A and B are shown apart, each in its own frame.
Chain A
Amino acid sequence: MRDVAVVAFAQSQHSTRDADSTEVEILAPVIADAVAQAGVARQSIGFTCSGSCDYLVGAPFSFVSALDAVGAWPPISESHVEMDAAWALYEAWVRLQHDDGTDTALVYGFGKASNVDVAEMLALQLDPYYLAPLWPDQVSLAALQARAYIEARGVDGGELAAVGSAAREAGAANPNAVPYGSATYPDPVEPLRPGDVAPVTDGAAAIILAAGDAVRACTDDPAWIRGIAHRIEAHSVGARDLTRSRSTEQAAAAAGLGQTPVDIAEVHAQFGHEQLILRDALGLGPDVRINPSGGPLAANPVMATGLIRIGEAAARVRDGSARRAVAHATSGPCLQQNLVCVLEGE
């Protein structure tokens, strides 16, 4: 494997409703910030990959307009995933493995969740013949998983509530998180309560990856990707054991998590109980701080939230507050697909 590192990470000042800006207007300064941090010429970046969702905008190929923020002329090598941008980062990591002269990659994700009721919109990702016509929204499905997990593990209400209060406390110290007083939230469905649900968030994030000699040209303190893997489970939530996340367990093993301990974890938990399920699946003990940034419960810019987990974990490694960190991203209903990325400093 070719060693690849995160050499720059930028994100927007997330808000619960940015009515003034289009997606590309939120994204442009974020990409400019990441490019400036890496100290590379924009035109020298070898590969560009983004993650977004057309349903958030209600327009096909909406991601193409985001290229206005990139500088795509003369023509660039570019790709897109209709997924969280953590999977765009995975594609960029694979691209850099080719070792064919492409040594840098720009990855970005963006979304304005305030455009539409995202919880309702996400019913469209379900199977179109049986589940989608029933129109189960994301929060209602999450509530089914929460109940199953709480009953199976004997979780008390205090343990679940502690996840949300820790996220709020950490988010208050994160200048990019949605200011708590201004946030709006999807309506919770029992057993979920207001503090267990991620805020509606508009925002964007960008990461620059480098490999080979390009790493040192960008930074003296890279966050090395020591392992990255993703696994997927059955689409139907009725075909899975909702009380655990087998795909996270398998991705973690494939990414080499568990070989040496991590200091912090950034997990893509949009609901409090998801953080507990992911803690179990990743085997995180009480000494591992989970979501020091506040996590998705403090800022959830859909399609960038998973990428931000990698960025935040890399930032903790780069500033020396963690020697080794794990980042997690998810996609699909009830933690269907999961990506695990292990990062390490020098």
Chain B
Amino acid sequence: MSAAIATTALRKVYPAPPNGRRQRGMPAPARDGGVVALESLDLEVGEGEFFGLLGPNGAGKSTTIGILTTRIRPTAGSALVAGEDVVRHAPRVRQRIGVVPQRPNPDRGLDVTENLVFHAAYFGVSRGEAEQRANRLLETLSLAERRTARVDELSGGQQQRLMIARALIHEPEVLFLDEPTVGLDPQARLALWDILRELHDAGRTIVMTTHYMEEADQLCERVAIVDRGRLLALDTPARLKARAPGGTLVILTLDGDAGDAAARARGLAGVERVESESATVRAFAARGGEVIPALIRAAEEAGRAVTDIPLREPSLETLFISLTGRRLT
């Protein structure tokens, strides 16, 4: 497999924000007071691969995409995209990539078609050629009727599709999408998935960040699970799911501290692993349903009542919880 993207010990430390500005879930400050967004990332994405970066907010996904798209300067380490160094040869990297941002940011001074034609012009595409491509893309992305509309008049989903058209108009080799389906209704999300599948089938390298497990599972060939600036796991969705301990995850919400109940649950037959956190017990079991009565008994013996007891099938989400002790969203 030849690499479309290769990063070596990629690291990003942001200067410390003013006091109290640190967001929930953000990584802890580094020794020098800066915020470590990316610890030390080694990644390789193959040509034509559909690659996913999965993690909660503040995991370092957007920072990674920012560095790979030359929009953020790494603190240390190196990154090559399409064979070019993102710092030393940023313009050459930009020539070969298309970027769909987290929030649609169309050029509001221009209408829909102009957004595409001018973007193409920034990449040296001639006007005639750009107009042809724009028409084709607007057709494919069901925006043909909005061709002369002002971008303010577009719905969120339409703006997002315009961003995809813009990212494709100069025919890049690598397409980056940063949380492309956030804020889309379910129908628009499924439509976008179809578009992305088609682009992948056509041989394009796609790197996508998401904090939706299902999205990564459905679309990506390989998924990197990141959290707090660190790479926790990297594999195909199927193999990642197989790594989730003990298959089903049983989550017990109790009416008080879960420590004692968790200790009792650890000895139960069929339960492979138990974790606790304040009023929650998480038990991984090969057959989730069979251990539920025993788990409830264990909680009651510890003097606690169970207020909720959902089951999670083996998924990237259960793996994420087992890796980090936290839920994704």
Does chain A bind chain B? no
Contact surface of A with B, Cβ cutoff 8 Å: none
Contact surface of B with A, Cβ cutoff 8 Å: none
